[in-house]
Amino acid sequence: MATAVRYRFVIEGDLSERAQAAFPELSRSDHSTPGTTTLFGTVPDSTALRGVLARIDTLGLTLLEMSRLPD
């Protein structure tokens, strides 16, 4: 049985509101390093995680870091 997991995604550049809208399940962190955007949130299962990664790729974004957050 799949369990939801919290993740953090660090993306190169400052995402526009339009690009950020492609990730409604994720929130934007106010504590990003300059020149990056940090998104975080709960991802329900591995299929949803692959969906987030596919959207990052489709939008031509560069994923700098992805990490699982503690529960």
Residue-wise pLDDT for 5-52, tens only, equals 999 999 999 999 999 999 999 999 988 889 999 999 999 999 999 999
Confidence of residue 1 (pLDDT cuts 50, 70, 90): low
Q: What angle is formed at CA 38 by the lines to CA 53 and CA 49, rounded to 5 degrees?
A: 25
Say what the pLDDT of residue 10 is.
97
Say what the pLDDT of residue 32 is.
82
pTM equals: 0.91
Domain residue extents for the chain? 5-25+40-68
Say what the pLDDT of residue 71 is.
78
43: its two tokens: 């991802």
